[in-house]
Amino acid sequence: MYKILRKERLAPGINLFEIEAPRVAKHAKPGQFVIVRLHEKGERIPLTIADADKSKGSVTIVAQEVGKTTHELGTYNEGDYISDLLGPLGNPSHIDKFGTVVMVGGGVGVAEIYPVARAMKEAGNYVISILGFRTKELVFWEDKLRDVSDEVIVTTNDGSYGMKGFTTHALQKLIDEGRKIDLVHAVGPAIMMKAVAELTKPYGIKTVASLNPIMVDGTGMCGACRITVGGEIKFACVDGPEFDAHLVDWDELMKRLNYYRDLELISFEKWKR
């Protein structure tokens, strides 16, 4: 059993949980994730390790309430226990001195880019973080990203805070200004990562995306996270979750993400009752 040490509501529908898990914390590296199961009858869901404190023996996850399990997790509080937390899983991000690295986080993806941005900065890169939200009240962790970035650009779709538009508008502006960009690292909704990949491809800017297909075991055994990269079948949990964004079959990924939509809605409605 894994104890919740701290819960924080970061924005409407977005919760942070710091969970006691010393063995996971000890080995966690930026870009890795855990598979969480709330209780014996719960389903397994993957969540990125947004932070890890080795001395305290805790890991931090940030979850957006989108369906049954993430809403149920939202009802858990400090002092509660979750039954399983498996990890760290997946390959760590490739951290190196690239030069100028642009980190692009969309929505809850902002929490996911934080450990990578910090590691990129520690490796000596010039880090520009673009944080995209739908509207001002959903903005979170701008301060944390400022601590680990040289520049931060916040975008909101409705223009209620920061630059009006999508993360891709901010990225296009940097390119138009003639800024030298050596690597783009994107985490967020698949549609955003696809748009980032389409934007950077003609400029030949190396782009990495952390993929979020449906996962079940997270250890390469079930095949649920199957994706196509460069014409080859890959399992995102063991071959990724990060891949060359220019080679990903984005339409297939998005189609597979919606595969169980009707069943997920039924399960959520049942749980609400």
Residue 233 lies near ligand FES (rule: CB under 6 A): no
Asked if 140 and 110 touch (Cβ cutoff 8 Å), the reply is yes
DSSP state of 182: S
Residue 220 contact among ligand FAD, ligand FES, none, beta carbon within 5 to 8 Å by kind: ligand FES
Stretch of 121-129, 135-143, 217-225, 255-263 contacting ligand FES, by CB under 6 A: 217-225
Composition of the chain by helix, strand, coil, percent to 5? 30, 35, 35
Element (H, E) at 273: none
Residue 11 engages ligand FES in binding (rule: CB under 6 A):
no
Q: Which residues contact 176 (CB under 8 A, 6 or more apart)?
A: none
Residue 223 binds which one of ligand FES, ligand FAD, none, with CB within 5 to 8 A depending on kind?
A: ligand FES
Does 220 bind ligand FES (CB under 6 A)? Our answer is yes
Choice from 64, 129, 156, 168 touching ligand FAD (CB under 6 A): 64
What is the smallest separation between the CB atom of 221 and ligand FES, expressed in angstroms? 6
Tell me the C-alpha to C-alpha distance, in Å, between residue 166 and each of 7, 27, 108, 134: 29, 35, 15, 9
Tokens of 204: 């030949």
Say which amino acid occupies 27: H
Residue closer to ligand FAD (CB basis): 60 or 100: 60
**From residue 78 to residue 117, what is the string marking binding to ligand FAD with x (rule CB under 6 A)?**
------------------------------x---x-----
Report the length, in residues, of the chain: 273
